[in-house]
Amino acid sequence: MASIGESIKSVYKKIGTSITVIRDTGNVSGEYIDSEVNTQVTKPFVAEFFRNASFPYDTELIAGDVIKFDITSEKYMVMNKSPEMFSNTVAEYAGVLYKCNVSGEILRPSGELRDSQYHTVTEFDTIREDCFGLLTEPLYAGELETEEELGLLGIDKEELYLPTNYDIRVMDRYQSVSGEYYMVTTIRKNKYSGCVVAVLEEDLR
């Protein structure tokens, strides 16, 4: 007799969405998840970038993973994963996804040199390419998932949500594929288990 977890997993394959997990060690395919927008959401930003999700009981997904929806190629970060229990066993997992609206690379200062005009300029080494994340203006209390009073507060600074394993650090440069340069001024590490929030400002180095 199939376990409750196996029974629920079979439903994911019928009505769920197939995904690919993007990892340094190689992409993982063959997983199915179910995701939806919270029907109580009234703020367009939250409706666009925030999704509730559920995963099979034996999913390989962990917090901080970047996943790609196979049908649309949209990329999301798995922000958390919590077990849903039934009859003293894990039946499935519930979680939250943040949509990745930027990709780019992380560069780290490696020294200084003088240009032809004798100006001091910073040299950078590329630390990581293909860095997917959510770039947004700071939101109320830094809580993207909180709908109450989601007023945009920041003008000069922005926040970048990235997987922890990208190892972004203060003073690093995030260079988006669209050409913008950002300098990391602060790293918030304790908010999510698999994700950090990097506070950015325009990089003029």
pLDDT in tens, the chain (205 residues): 568 889 899 999 999 999 999 999 999 999 999 999 876 666 777 778 899 999 999 999 999 999 999 999 999 999 999 999 988 899 999 999 999 999 999 999 998 887 777 778 889 999 999 999 999 987 544 444 444 433 334 445 799 999 999 999 999 999 999 999 999 999 988 778 899 999 999 998 8
Q: Do domains 4-99 and 102-202 have the same CATH topology?
A: yes
Domain 102-202 has CATH 2.70.150.10: no
Count helices and strands (H / E) in the chain. Answer: 2, 12
What is the pTM assigned to this prediction?
0.85
C-alpha distances in angstroms, 123 versus 109, 110, 169? 6, 6, 16
Query: Quick one: tokens of 92?
Result: 């499935």
Domain 4-99 has CATH 2.40.128: no
Name residue 111's beta-bridge partners: 123
DSSP-assigned letter for residue 128: E
Domain assignments of the chain as residue spans, ordered by start: 4-99, 102-202
